[in-house]
Amino acid sequence: MRLFLLLATFFTLLSCTGQKEQKEAKISVFAVHINTIAQQENISFTEAAAKVRQMGYAGADVYPYQEDAIHVLDSLGFGHSCAIVHINYLAEKHVDGIDANTPRGFFRGGWGDLEDAAINFVKKHNYPHLMLVPNVLPEDATPKDAEKVRQHVAAFADRCVNEGIDLVIESYDNEGSLCYGTERLQTLLNNSKSLGVAFDIGNFTFAKEDPVEAYETLKDKVRHVHVKDRASLDDMTPVPAGTGCSKISTVLQKMEDAGYDGWYTIEVFGSKQMLSDLEVAYRNTFSFLRPDAANQ
């Protein structure tokens, strides 16, 4: 009997250790990627989410217009990694929605209404961060338009702090964005001490920057991470983490060494085989973060 109890305790501890290792990696996924799987595999969102959860994903980045998905994700044990909102500060009215596979119903009128809705969503569902994606400037935009957007971003960051919310921005993969590359990001960060960074590894590659150097520049402001890879320096197509050219392993190791303890969200927008791409991305990312556990 004593031998049985000792063996049972041993295997329980071994199992818990493995679970702890995986949980500590804090790898999350875009909830819209789950929508894509549901469409591509002709299954329900719930079935798709269950498959992704079984891979090991522990959290999800969610847009406020995905309110209906929250209860499904919660029921499967997904953590709330980050909320994301797109706001066009130069438009009178705006609909927030970026993925063709996701119903676009998040209409809240003007930019002020979108800010209100995003804040309410984050507070209701207790997300640690809200990521703002400000509008890409149109080709005929003036310096005055650019400054207007910068001021709105800074004001929203300050407002979020007063609401107890951490606002972050990422290097966005569009040359018309005020968040394109390190220099433009720093301009926005200099306008508000409240603003943080969601470090998108592949988007620095897109901006023809070295993600490792970008991280060294911005590391004190990094509060969330998007693990995106690019096919090659000549092909900016997003590919599963660890299969492209964006130095994913090196950047993640630097983050771990620096004590980063937030979420790592996998991003593979445009994938034609999302289910298998997410599996590859998770496996590679986990092996970069926990090489000892991955080799067991």
pLDDT in tens, 158-178: 999 999 999 999 999 999 999
52-110: per-residue pLDDT in tens? 999 999 999 999 888 889 999 999 999 999 999 988 898 765 545 444 333 344 555 67
Q: How high is the pLDDT of residue 99?
A: 42
- The β-bridge relationship of strands 106-107 and 95-96 is antiparallel
Q: Which domains does the chain have, with CATH numbers?
A: 26-274 (3.20.20.150)
The 10 Å Cβ neighbour count of residue 128 is 18
